[in-house]
Amino acid sequence: MTMIDIGGQIRHGEELDIAAVESWLKNQGVDLQGQAQVTQYSGGASNWTYRLQYNNADLILRRPPKGTKAKSAHDMAREYNVQKHLAPFYPVLPEMIALCQDESVIGCDFYVMKRIEGIIPRANLPKELQLDEPQVQQLCLNVLDKLIELHQVPYQGTELEKLGKGEGYCRRQVEGWDARYSKALTPNVPDFAFVREWLLQHIPVDAKTCVIHNDWRFDNVILDPQQPTQVIGVLDWEMATLGDPLMDLGSALAYWIQEDDEALMKSSRRQPTNLKGMLTRQQVVDYYLEKTALQPDNWAFYEVFGLFRLAVIAQQIYYRYYHQQTDNPAFKDFWIMIHALHIRALKLIAQNHPQAQPLIAEYGAKLQDILKR
């Protein structure tokens, strides 16, 4: 069945020393039979992910990219332990097998977990997966319900308490992403001055503190091949922490492209949220708030924050391209998308603060000029 997510060819320069890994795993008491078939997953812009297929085991290995200096950005032990300690409360996590912090094995930390066989919904659902409108809606609700379930995990008094600082999360996030944008600015992107000042002036008290995923997208869930509206796995826990659940939802909505969005935003879509049956962003918010009984005074803050955060992430990548630290052509036009995210943030602010309106006209005209070139 081709719609099952499988690994592909290993990229040049990202080869895995399978003999060293296998020897280490066997020393940990892991039973491995037969010769490993090793493939690599292409998804994920950060940690490298490999599939190790044995006669008796189907495993996933995660490791940081080569040349990584900031250990905090690719903390394998943290990612491993988050999943290990969360699993008793949240049964859609892969089973952790072993964590290696001996860099003499393959030159870096890595961990191994069991593979969950299923479908990962990317920008478009696999052709073989034909869902009607009610099924698409059920899939959408099930993905949202899994986020809501995560936000209800009773972390107090467990190892999960060590995940983050918790209280004051909203302020730390706004100030932190603001500083990151300042460092990553290039001359061809907006400075987001109005948006940044608005965020700083409207930081709310945390709605509550809970475990948050911090990278919630459809391509980080695994669907059951037999019942493809059901979520059987949740992946990519490297940014999980303790924080405000509304910040998690706001960040998730930055990726939520719907059918009536502008063509430029639709061109960046990386999940199937445009399908008939999917909830709109507003319906997602209404559903989440009804299910959780949270009542924010200013929902726009969380959605604007999510857009700004995504703009910073994209700009940090583009900064490397602009300064010729990478020549990956996929990053060449990121700066244009940052203009579009800026306008989307201004439009949200303008719903309650009309002083943003002239900026929408000004930056909208600039974006049109850019697109004409």
**pLDDT value for 43:** 59
Q: Which residue bears the tokens 């006669």? A: 55
Q: How would you class 150 by CB atoms within 10 Å of its CB: exposed for 0-12, middle for 13-18, buried for 19 or more? A: buried
Taking the whole predicted model, whether its pTM rises above 0.75 is answered as yes
Alpha-carbon span 326 to 301, nearest angstrom: 34
What structural domains does the chain harbor? 18-114 (3.30.200.20), 133-372 (3.90.1200.10)
Mean pLDDT per 10-residue interval, the chain, length 373 residues: 78 93 98 97 77 98 77 80 98 98 96 97 93 98 99 98 94 98 98 99 98 97 97 96 98 97 93 97 99 98 99 95 90 96 98 97 97 91
State residue 71's pLDDT score. Answer: 52
Residue 153 region by backbone torsions, left for phi larger than 0, else alpha for psi between -120 and 50, else beta:
beta
pLDDT at residue 1, rounded to an integer: 47
Q: How far apart are CA 112 and CA 59, in angstroms?
A: 7
**Cα 201 from Cα 30, distance rounded (Å):** 54
Residue carrying the six token digits 């929408």: 360
Give the pLDDT of residue 139. Answer: 99
Question: For residue 93, which of 241, 245, 232 has the smallest C-alpha distance?
Answer: 232
User: At which residue do the structure tokens 């999940």 appear?
Assistant: 271
On the 0-12 / 13-18 / 19+ scale of CB atoms within 10 A, 317 is: middle
pLDDT tens-digit map of 149-186: 999 999 999 999 999 998 999 999 999 999 999 999 99
According to the model, what pLDDT value does residue 5 have? Answer: 78
